[in-house]
Structure 1
Amino acid sequence: MRITCPLCGERDRREFYYVGDAVALNRPDPDAGDVVWDDYVHNRDNPAGVTRDLWYHESGCASWIVVTRNTITHEVLETALASDVKEATS
């Protein structure tokens, strides 16, 4: 899989570190209980199809990048700096 870094251009995905979903998680209250915290820490959706993921350009410019990709075909549909995505949604 190839990922286009907005600053460095197209690179092999091995230059990047996958962090997880690029969505805000709703952190439970500290006293929410073990079951709620276990679910929050260990259970995530694993959708088939288009997702938005957060990647770190570890072996490159050290940018945080939001990658929109298809988990079935591994096609990368769009990439953007995470700071730009955050500004656009604020």
Structure 2
Amino acid sequence: MLLIPCPFCGPRNESEFAHGGPVRARRPDPDAVSDAAWVEYLTVTPNPQGPVQEHWWHVRGCGTWLTLWRDTTSHDIVKGPDDA
């Protein structure tokens, strides 16, 4: 099981969190991009190998949203919310 470092509660079990998905580019203005670009933004989620910046919500704890780096090949937390 993955241990996620919450800055308020300390290392907590993954079961206390809800995965918020990868950090993505800012949402484009739908009127300023082509239909194809808009559909791609809405439906295509990148799935790279290696470190990925992700959002996690401590839903069964303090309720904080965290942003951390997780390696998708090893499932290890590479950089937590308190790491510089």
Would you say same fold, with TM above 0.5?
A: yes
Partner of 2:80: 79
**Offset of residue 45 of structure 1:** 1.1
Instruction: Please report the TM-score for the alignment, with normalisation by the length of structure 2.
Output: 0.82
More displaced stretch, 33-42 vs 3-12: 33-42
**Offset of residue 26 of structure 1:** 4.1
Partner of 1:30: 31
Structure 2's unaligned 5+ residue stretches are none
Aligned runs of 1:37-48 on 2, under 5 Å? 37-48=38-49
**RMSD of aligned alpha carbons:** 2.0
More displaced stretch, 35-44 vs 47-56: 35-44
Structure 1's unaligned 5+ residue stretches are 82-90
Q: Report % sequence identity.
A: 30
**Offset of residue 37 of structure 1:** 1.8
Aligned runs of 1:1-90 on 2, under 5 Å? 1-30=2-31, 32-80=33-81
Tell me, yes or no, if the aligned pair for 1:68 and 1:76 is still in contact at 8 Å: yes
Greater helix proportion: 1
Number of residue pairs the alignment of both structures matches? 82
Tell me, yes or no, if the aligned pair for 1:28 and 1:36 is still in contact at 8 Å: no
